[in-house]
Every structure is written in structure tokens, then in C-alpha cells.
Amino acid sequence: MRHFYRPTYSKLISYSALMAALCMLLSFSCFAQTPDPHSIPSVDGGAGPCSVQFTVHDESGSAVYAAKVRVHFSYGFLGAHKMDLEVATNVDGKARFNGLPARAKIPLLFVATQNGKEADYNYDPGANCKAEQTLVLKKP
């Protein structure tokens, strides 16, 4: 005679509670909101009060989606702190860098790239702490 596994009543309740919780979790995932494609992606360096906002276009003048904009800079006493920041553009070709240092010994070099095309911008935070710049991607 074979003996089959027969769960106890308390195990049946715990299994059913687990399944109910799993079903509720899966049903709430359909209510998740999609992010706004027009919100401007930004990154905060936390090194100062300055910021720069970029609008990236191609040679025909249309906005470039998902172009990478990068910067590397040193700040602090004797340039002891170094930071690399990167952000991708939204559907409108916009990206923002916040928390940049107010003083820099050399201008910050921002480089935007996508599909072998690039553009660069030298930013001096001492001259313009809150800047907006348009970049046009071209073949190097």
C-alpha cells in the first residue's frame, strides 16, 4: 500500500495565502505608471551649485534620442576628487547635469556621442553657472 503525501490543514492555509499574495502582487504590476518620455533625465554630481542643460540634435536639426553625454572633472583641494558623470538624452534630445563645481581650473569638457557621431562643449562654470547649450552631432 502506498502512502501519498497529504499536507496538513495549516500547510494548506499557508500555501493558499502565499498564492493569494502572489496573485495580488502580479495584479498590481499592471497599474505601474510608465515614465514620462518628455521628462529631462538628469544626474547630480554633488560637487557644487552649477548646472548645464543640453539639447542634442543631428545635422538635419532633429532631436537625438539616447545620445550619451559624458564629462570627467577634478574638484576640491589640489583636484583630489575626480568624478565621471554620464546621462542619456530623452525623446526631445535633452539632458541635464546638476551639482557641478562653481570653480574649475580648466573648463569642463562635455562630449556627446551616438552611432559614431560626436559633439563637444567646453563649459566654464565661473563664467556661467546655469548654462543651456545645443550640441549638433557630426562625424569626427
- 94-100: strand order across its sheet: 42-44, 94-100, 50-57, 130-136
pTM for the whole structure: 0.73
In whole angstroms, give the CA distance from residue 7 to residue 14: 11
One pLDDT digit (tens) per residue for the chain, 140 residues: 566 655 554 554 566 666 666 556 555 555 556 778 789 999 999 889 999 999 999 999 999 999 999 999 887 777 778 889 999 999 999 999 999 999 888 899 999 999 999 999 999 999 999 999 999 999 98
Domain ranges of the chain: 42-136
| Topology of the domain covering 42-136 | Immunoglobulin-like (2.60.40)
Helix residue spans in 29-91 (DSSP H):
none
pLDDT score of 12: 45
d(CA 18, CA 27): 14
